[in-house]
Amino acid sequence: MNFELSEEQKMIQQSVERFVQENYDLPTRVKLSGEDVGFSKDYWSSMAELGWLGLPFSEEDGGFGGNQIDIIVIMEQFGRGLVLEPFLSGVVMAGGAIKRGGNENLKQEFLSALIEGTKQLSFGYAEIQSRFDLEDVATTAKKDGDSYIINGQKSMVLNAESADAIVISARTDGAQVDKSGISLFLIDADSEGVEKENFPTVDGLRASEISFENVKIDSSRLIGSLNEGFQILQEVTNDAILALCAEAVGAMEVLYKDTVEYTQQREQFDHPLSDFQVLQHRMVDMFMEYEQSKSMLLRTTLETVQDPVTCQKTIHGLKYLVGKSGIFVGENAVQLHGGMGVTEELRIGHYFKRLIVIDSILGNTDFHLQKFTDFD
């Protein structure tokens, strides 16, 4: 399979790489993570000015007509710096849902503002009982004249604390675990009846537990067709898995390169650690896991661009492989650094924590291996 970035994509890659190198050393990331919103609003505005927030959207919606390849180009570089800005939850997930099913008014009001960097969006899909099953939706939306009444809860909603509006999945028909009967809605974050419990995550991001109690929204806030939101939900989460895996690949590259550099400098028995064959083998294994993950990411992305429906089995395989490889690379990086590998002062532990969290978002290795095995 031949994969080569276009000239425009290479320019984007170089631009994001330069941004990360200049703005995302470890002390800066730690400082930003501790601020009120958990990221830099100035950096977010810069991303908008550079056009990154508009890449996945069509020119008709005010974007640049990009696709999943553009997303992974950006996210791989973000993974190298552990970028905190909510590109995944806002642009890939919430923006991805609106571009697929939003009416023209929603697109004009929210996509334009998202692309310009003036509005923050979030995406609530997980619930306490659902684990990783997208179709397990207990939150309900009941028709009330020209409105819907939302009741329920959403868990681990990234960037909800800063979001102006939240896209959620809700059940409008059928049983709790039916794929049919799911609809998507866009809710203003400050609507009456919306309660958020915000908390920091282990990897330095922000998330929220959200409850909806008799939240009334206009029927124009429906995204896509009534009872047929699962397909959009599936496509959005597939894009998010590609983005997460690209971020993980970027993080793995940093870990294995930092580990090689460290073992060349650290000496034991009057020799650098890198002289010991058993450690060389472990670092080669780290490199191979990284390369396999990157190759699988490219293949899956191309399949998704060509046919977003038939790529599902490969998506499961990708998430399994990247989750397994990320943990392997992270564990070995920590072990080869010794006790320093888990200190806050060294970036190794921060990257490892992010890889652990990436494995748990949208399905861990066990979940996706089972899905891959059972796939018809």
Residue extents of the structural domains in the chain: 7-119, 122-227, 231-374
Residue 272, pLDDT > 90, answer: no
| Tokens linked to 89 | 């939850």
Supply the Cα-derived Rg of the chain in whole angstroms.
21
Proportion of the chain above pLDDT 90, given as a percent: 85
Distance between CA 35 and CA 70 in Å, rounded? 29
Cα–Cα nearest to 138, from 163, 121, 158, 155: 155
| Pair of tokens at residue 118 | 């003036």
Q: Residue 159 pLDDT > 80, yes or no? A: yes
**pLDDT over 60 (residue 1):** no
Nearest to 345 by CA among 15, 25, 24: 25
Q: How confident is the model at residue 264 (pLDDT cuts 50, 70, 90)?
A: confident
Residue 168 pairs in a beta bridge with 124, 185
pLDDT at 338 over 90: no
In this structure, which topology does domain 231-374 adopt according to CATH?
Butyryl-CoA Dehydrogenase, subunit A; domain 3 (1.20.140)
Domain 7-119 superfamily per CATH:
Acyl-CoA dehydrogenase/oxidase, N-terminal domain (1.10.540.10)
Contacts 24+ apart (CB under 8 A), 359-367: 359/322, 359/323, 359/326, 359/327, 361/240, 361/244, 362/132, 362/237, 362/240, 362/241, 362/244, 362/319, 363/132, 363/241, 363/319, 364/132, 364/323, 365/319, 365/320, 365/323, 365/324, 365/327, 367/131, 367/132
Model confidence pLDDT, tens digit, residues 185-194: 999 999 999 9
Domain covering 122-227 assigned CATH 2.30.30.60 in the classification: no
Whether pLDDT at 227 is above 90: yes
**Tell me, what amino acid is at 316?**
H
pTM value surpassing 0.85: yes
pLDDT of residue 208 exceeding 70, the answer is yes
Is the pLDDT at 41 greater than 90, yes or no?
A: yes
